[in-house]
Amino acid sequence: MMRYVVNTVSMPLRISDLLARPGLHLALTYDVPPELLSRTIEAATVSDLLVPGKWLQGGELLMTIGLLLPMEPAACRAYVRDVAEGGAACLALGLGHGLPYQEAPEPLVTAAREAGLPLLTVPDEVPFIAVTKAVFDARATEQREVLHRAFATQRRLTAAAATSDGLQPMLEEWTAATGIGATVLDPLGRQLATAEQEPRTPLEHAHDLVERVAARGLRGSATSTAGGRQLEVQPLGARRLRGLLLLAGRPDDAARSVVPGLISLLSLELERRHLRDEPERRRRSALLSELLADEELAADRARDMLASVGLSAERVRAVVVESAPATGAGGGPAPVGPSEGAAQETAADLALAMPGGLVRVTGGPGPASAPLIEAVVGEELDIHAVLGRFAPHCPAGIGPATAPEAVRVSLRQATGLLAVSRTSGAPVEARQSEAARLLLGLGDRRTLHGYADTVLGPLDLAEHGEELIATLSAWLETGGAWDATSRRLGVHRHTVRNRLDKAMDLTGRRLEDPDDRFDLWLATRIRRGGAPLPGSR
């Protein structure tokens, strides 16, 4: 079985085009509907097999002289069905002297009409190789035209990239040449430049697609459909994600061949912008150092410094991130340079995501320590989401919200939480109400519950022991306030006192003793898994 494959192009060769080709004299055997004549011919192949369908790939012009063709109607229908299910665009029967048929047999014509498969005839004077050559020449001409358009588009994009600000000119050239809408977004999905011939595609339609690609960095792209249009998102950047390309529409072959070049040029432009922004990042880093260095910083001065970079939050907090330390060939610490470079890149990503961009890189506490990234952000920023995107798996401490002039205090607490974050494997935030839960979460559960059982065991064995423990816990949570405890439990304050006296008799503890009181508080907190009681503050 011979097969002559021709690549798919943007201007397909249709059955109607082949019928109109001079010199071939191809003819239809029945009145074929126009929609069937618009089928694309992808290849030309010759076969006289009775079951050729499994050898087809789709879109073929299948030619046969009918050497083994059965004339029984049922057998003809089975043959035509096999050809159609194999994906052939049409069937052509060769006619002529010395061949089995001088005209198309009626059972074959009927079977083709019933199956919706165009049936052509090839006259005696036209060899099959002439039809094959005509298909190949037509497709080769179209392919050359596709390449010409692709090269022309690539040249226009390259010329646009040479301008001072290449994003917008490149997108406009791309859309003018291809008709495909294009938008460049930063890593957070914010629009940097866009160009579309049709009404603009709302970014919310592509939100999930953008988020999915951004989360993977440079490792992959994704496509989907929204509003009847194909959406495609490609990552942009050299070694790190610098942005995202959103294409709205279905590129033809010429446009598709240019997409890699467009991605490269856009990535180059974003890398160039990243380098161009380095002086501004250094200025903001110096401003942050000044903000943190002044131990007697006036409130007005602190607010003015933050306002100068667009950070107008009433309360701010400090964030400290420990970048992953680089390792040498033997597994030990690498020279400072590579690790510091990675920290600088992470700091640049964080500065992009944090309003104000007040981020700096400092040395770690020891000579072999990883560099630290320090930042000041507004209280309302979802810092956990930012860290999850740009500093995943890095230890991080998040200080409490403070007035701008007191951000040094927040920084000190954030730095102190790094060790806890290393152990927990997640960013840790300084919240006064969760300090005990944080510390308890670091201990071995078996050991902690054994400690609680030791302290509260006598109450577990006593009559109404659960009631005694609940009363003790509520009293400790309210700071020893009798009236508040009675209101929380809905009992008289004398009942609270009687229960606590009984609990102390059973445990041998004294509420007025600080050590005993702490042991009791810790034991009740362990029993609750570190969670505060309802209504506690």
Q: Above 80 in pLDDT, residue 233?
A: yes
- Among 232-236, 359-363, 528-532, which stretch is predicted with the lowest mean pLDDT? 528-532
pLDDT confidence band for 38 (50 / 70 / 90): very high
Q: Can you say how many angstroms the Cα of residue 137 is from the centroid of all Cα atoms in its chain?
A: 43
Rounded Cα distance, 357 and 355, in Å: 6
Q: Above 90 in pLDDT, residue 113?
A: yes
Encode pLDDT of 119-143 as tens digits: 999 999 999 999 999 999 888 887 7
Q: Above 80 in pLDDT, residue 431?
A: no
Query: What pLDDT, on the 0 to 100 scale, is given for residue 83?
Result: 94
Radius of gyration of the chain (CA): 38
Query: What pLDDT, on the 0 to 100 scale, is given for residue 2?
Result: 37
Instruction: From the options 2.40.10, 3.30.360, 3.30.70, 3.40.50, give the CATH code of 281-430.
Output: 3.30.70
Query: What pLDDT, on the 0 to 100 scale, is given for residue 369?
Result: 66
Tokens for 83?
A: 């050809």
Encode pLDDT of 396-430 as tens digits: 999 888 888 888 888 888 888 888 888 878 888 87
Q: Can you say how many angstroms the Cα of residue 369 is from the centroid of all Cα atoms in its chain?
A: 31
Tell me what the mean pLDDT of segment 505-518 comes to: 85
Q: Above 70 in pLDDT, residue 93?
A: yes
Query: What pLDDT, on the 0 to 100 scale, is given for residue 201?
Result: 62
In the CATH hierarchy, which top-level class contains the domain 163-276?
alpha beta
Parts of the chain belonging to CATH 3.40.1390.20? 2-139
Parts of the chain belonging to CATH 1.10.10.2840? 444-527
Encode pLDDT of 216-230 as tens digits: 888 888 998 877 788
Q: Above 90 in pLDDT, residue 283?
A: yes
Tell me what the mean pLDDT of segment 280-292 comes to: 91
Query: What pLDDT, on the 0 to 100 scale, is given for residue 423?
Result: 82
Burial of 535: CB neighbours in 10 Å, binned 0-12, 13-18, 19+: exposed
Helix (H, G, I), strand (E, B) or coil at 193: strand
Parts of the chain belonging to CATH 3.30.450.30? 163-276
Instruction: Judge whether 456 and 524 are in contact, CB under 8 Å.
Output: yes
More confident residue, 433 or 202: 202
Query: What pLDDT, on the 0 to 100 scale, is given for residue 365?
Result: 59
In the CATH hierarchy, which top-level class contains the domain 444-527?
mainly alpha
Nearest to 198 by CA among 180, 185, 184: 180
CATH architecture of structural domain 2-139: 3-Layer(aba) Sandwich (3.40)
Q: Give the whole-number percent of the chain exceeding pLDDT 70.
A: 88
Q: Roughly how many angstroms between the first and final C-alpha of the chain, as a whole number?
A: 83
Q: Above 60 in pLDDT, residue 9?
A: no
Query: What pLDDT, on the 0 to 100 scale, is given for residue 533?
Result: 37
Query: What pLDDT, on the 0 to 100 scale, is given for residue 91?
Result: 95
Query: What pLDDT, on the 0 to 100 scale, is given for residue 412?
Result: 85
Nearest to 94 by CA among 44, 26, 40, 41: 26
Highest mean pLDDT among 75-84, 215-224, 391-400, 503-512: 75-84
Tokens for 337?
A: 């340079």
pLDDT confidence band for 3 (50 / 70 / 90): very low
Tell me what the mean pLDDT of segment 93-115 comes to: 93
φ, ψ at 236 (rounded to 5°) = -120, 140
Tokens for 326?
A: 């680089």
pLDDT confidence band for 182 (50 / 70 / 90): very high
Q: Above 60 in pLDDT, residue 307?
A: yes
Q: Give the whole-number percent of the chain exceeding pLDDT 90.
A: 32
Tell me what the mean pLDDT of segment 425-446 comes to: 64
User: pTM above the 0.85 mark?
Assistant: no
Parts of the chain belonging to CATH 3.30.70? 281-430
Order of strands across the sheet that contains 222-226: 191-195, 181-185, 243-248, 229-236, 222-226
Burial of 49: CB neighbours in 10 Å, binned 0-12, 13-18, 19+: middle
Q: Above 90 in pLDDT, residue 476?
A: no
pLDDT confidence band for 147 (50 / 70 / 90): confident
Strands (E), 47-117: 60-64, 90-94
Encode pLDDT of 308-356 as tens digits: 999 888 889 999 999 865 433 333 333 434 467 888 888 898 888 888 8
pLDDT confidence band for 498 (50 / 70 / 90): very high
Alpha-carbon dihedral sign for residues 297, 300, 306, 311:
positive
Tokens for 508?
A: 């041998």
Rounded Cα distance, 537 and 530, in Å: 14
Query: What pLDDT, on the 0 to 100 scale, is given for residue 49?
Result: 92
Query: What pLDDT, on the 0 to 100 scale, is given for residue 331?
Result: 35
